[in-house]
A and B are shown apart, each in its own frame.
Chain A
Amino acid sequence: MQIMEASILGLYLIIMTLIGIWFAKRAHSSEGDYWTAGGKINSFVGSFAFFAAVASSSSLMGAVGSGVALGIPFLLAYGFGAVAIPSFAMFLISGQIRRSGVKTLPEFFKHRYGKSVQIVAAILVVLCMTFYMIPQLTASGLIGSYVLGIDYVTAVIILGIGFTLYAALGGMWAITYTDLIQGAVMVIGMFILSVIILMDHGGVNTLIQDALAVDPQFGSVTQPWMSYFGLFIAFLWFGVVSPSAVMRNFAARDAKTARRSALGACFLYVTVFIFGFFIASAGASLGIAETLENQDMIFISVIEHYMPPVLAGIMLAGLLAAIMSSADAMLLAVAAGISHDIYKEYINKQASEKAVTRLGLIVMILASIVGILFAINPPQLIAVMVGWVSGAMLSAFGFPLVLGLWWKRTNTAGALAGMVGGTVTFIIMALLPFALVSEHLVSAPVSALLTIVVSLLTAPPSAEVQMEVDRYHTNVEA
């Protein structure tokens, strides 16, 4: 057990929880929702909030792991798409989402297409978020096993139970404000780590040469073109199809702050991927990738190798806390999707608040168990698993959402066909032997085609709905 790291980790988690409670009390006392924080949030804070809402720490850890395992171009392809996440979502949907007044994906689908599409969307969000628990649990299991000195499986089970308790007891309150701190800790931590690495190796050029000396394939493209392209597309679209974080950001703030926050988030992404490049190079230069049981562990090895124990403790604690709050948000999304959006709204309208909460808790526990079972023996590298989730969400929601905002002829039947057809195609592609993370290169176009063709073959939406779509494109409040 790493005593120093473990103590810092424990202390950090307690402080984060206390901050969460304090901010939650403040947030609930005002009428503005937590994003606007009474309309006082500025672009600087907004940038970190936006960044933290989209960038999960497990994916940063995974990006570094994949850069070492599959060569640095894989990490760069990841960044090629990921850096554009805030910008692409802003270009394509921000103004329209703002004017439509919705804050979550299922809410938009209900507003634009009606109940049937909302139910299907809610079910798909639940499935995607449950799967998204697996990379979170894998990453936290790796950190936990290292810091606490226990084996990986035990760490996954203990932390999985911990996440469920945290989400069940805390609800939304613990997430948002602490996310800002996690985002800052990650960016600053990666910056410090990069500076230490560069000083240790004597510059960028020698760092890369050191990595190449250990692994001559480090700079090479080792996978088929489709894998890199697939990864790029999956991440490029992540902001558009992620269930609520980005939409809420665009919907809740004034337009100018939301845009500047997205710009800030884009800048943070650029810096994080530059640091990730250095960290992955340092990881490759250590020459231990082959000896690790799980290559996603490389980020932790680099932290431990280059940073003094106190800084390493803070960095690992920040990493784990950030994963915890992401997992918390996912579990809550799963619970809300089933108990609130489906059960309360369509199955039992008279259900008491207590019954809904209890059902939510059961769903949360089930989702955790599924996550833990898969994470015990993770099917792939973290980066690949995150790519799968993003690819699946793109195949399901991407085109029904974007066409729904941009093309008034899109109707309910088209959206349903696109959503279900895209998802089924994705699952079939995932079962077939295919290049890594490229399933959605087939399933997303299938979804687009189905949405367009079925919409054209069936009756157009009502004049009222078409007017509404026109309203998304007015000059008012761009």
Chain B
Amino acid sequence: MKQLTRKKWKDPGIVMVILLSIIALFVWVWWPTDTYIGGISLAGWAMFVCFFIWLALTVAYVIWMEKLEKKDTD
């Protein structure tokens, strides 16, 4: 059982959770409410940009897992 067990901290899911948390933390700490771009607070735009970062992280995870599976079957 031990040999089969994947190291929890190297799990792609946990790596992605950590990345997502760091990016979100950056936005929440930065929180530039008083700077405006096109009339909308920069804090709003930062959250908007993250929509695409979340999508990119998900694409990366799906590819990573499929590569791992391929390696396992090889």
CB contact under 8 A between A90 and B5, given known A212-B39, A478-B68: no
Q: Which of B14, B48, B54 contacts A266 (CB 8 A)?
A: B54
Is A73 interfacial (CB 8 A cutoff)?
yes
Complex alpha-carbon distance, A73 and B51, angstroms: 13
B74 to chain A, nearest CB (A): 13
Tell me whether A73 and B40 are in contact (CB under 8 A).
yes
Docked complex: B31-58 residues within 8 A CB-CB of A:
31, 33, 36, 38-41, 43-44, 47-48, 50-52, 54-55, 57-58
B73 to chain A, nearest CB (A): 11
Tell me whether A79 and B5 are in contact (CB under 8 A).
no
CB contact under 8 A between A467 and B1, given known A91-B16, A478-B69: yes
Complex alpha-carbon distance, A18 and B59, angstroms: 37
Complex alpha-carbon distance, A470 and B8, angstroms: 10
Tell me whether A219 and B36 are in contact (CB under 8 A).
yes
CB-CB < 8 A to B62: which residues of A? Answer: 259-260, 262-263
Is A29 interfacial (CB 8 A cutoff)?
no
What total of chain B residues lie within 8 Å of the partner, measured CB to CB?
Answer: 42
Complex alpha-carbon distance, A474 and B3, angstroms: 9
A104 to chain B, nearest CB (A): 21
Segment of A80-88, A166-174, A180-188 engaged in the interface with chain B: A80-88
Complex alpha-carbon distance, A476 and B3, angstroms: 12
Is A77 interfacial (CB 8 A cutoff)?
yes
Complex alpha-carbon distance, A212 and B72, angstroms: 55
A430 to chain B, nearest CB (A): 23
Complex alpha-carbon distance, A473 and B61, angstroms: 17
CB contact under 8 A between A209 and B16, given known A256-B69, A467-B1: no
CB-CB < 8 A to A476: which residues of B? Answer: 4
CB contact under 8 A between A91 and B54, given known A76-B48, A256-B66, A475-B72: no
Complex alpha-carbon distance, A232 and B47, angstroms: 10
A231 to chain B, nearest CB (A): 10
Tell me whether A259 and B20 are in contact (CB under 8 A).
no
Complex alpha-carbon distance, A471 and B52, angstroms: 34
Tell me whether A220 and B41 are in contact (CB under 8 A).
yes
A437 to chain B, nearest CB (A): 15
Complex alpha-carbon distance, A277 and B20, angstroms: 23
A216: nearest residue on chain B (CB-CB)?
A: B39
Is A218 interfacial (CB 8 A cutoff)?
yes
A189 to chain B, nearest CB (A): 20
Docked complex: A307-332 residues within 8 A CB-CB of B:
none
Complex alpha-carbon distance, A260 and B68, angstroms: 15
B24 to chain A, nearest CB (A): 7
CB-CB < 8 A to B38: which residues of A? Answer: 205, 208, 219
CB contact under 8 A between A266 and B17, given known A72-B44, A219-B41: no
Complex alpha-carbon distance, A259 and B12, angstroms: 13
Is A95 interfacial (CB 8 A cutoff)?
yes
Is B28 interfacial (CB 8 A cutoff)?
yes
Tell me whether B13 and A94 are in contact (CB under 8 A).
yes
Tell me whether A473 and B44 are in contact (CB under 8 A).
no
**Which of A266, A267, A471 is most buried by chain B, counting CB atoms within 10 A of its CB?**
A266
Tell me whether B55 and A267 are in contact (CB under 8 A).
yes
Complex alpha-carbon distance, A274 and B52, angstroms: 11
CB-CB < 8 A to B57: which residues of A? Answer: 87
B32: nearest residue on chain A (CB-CB)?
A: A221
A402 to chain B, nearest CB (A): 10
B72 to chain A, nearest CB (A): 6
Q: Which of B2, B13, B27, B44 contacts A95 (CB 8 A)?
A: B13
Complex alpha-carbon distance, A86 and B55, angstroms: 10
B55 to chain A, nearest CB (A): 5
Docked complex: A8-46 residues within 8 A CB-CB of B:
none
Is A434 interfacial (CB 8 A cutoff)?
no
Is A191 interfacial (CB 8 A cutoff)?
no
CB-CB < 8 A to A236: which residues of B? Answer: 24
Tell me whether A218 and B69 are in contact (CB under 8 A).
no
Give me 17 other A-B pairs in contact (C-beta within 8 A), A225-B31, A476-B4 excluded: A73-B41, A77-B47, A79-B47, A80-B47, A87-B57, A87-B58, A87-B61, A88-B17, A90-B61, A95-B13, A208-B40, A212-B39, A218-B40, A219-B41, A221-B41, A228-B43, A270-B54
Residue contacts A-B, CB under 8 angstroms, 21 given: A73-B43, A76-B48, A86-B58, A87-B20, A88-B17, A90-B13, A91-B13, A92-B17, A95-B11, A208-B38, A259-B61, A259-B66, A262-B62, A263-B58, A270-B54, A270-B55, A273-B51, A274-B51, A277-B48, A474-B4, A474-B5
Please name the 9 residue pairs, one residue from A and one from B, whose CB atoms are nearest each other, closest first.
A219-B40, A73-B44, A80-B47, A91-B13, A87-B58, A221-B33, A76-B47, A91-B16, A474-B4
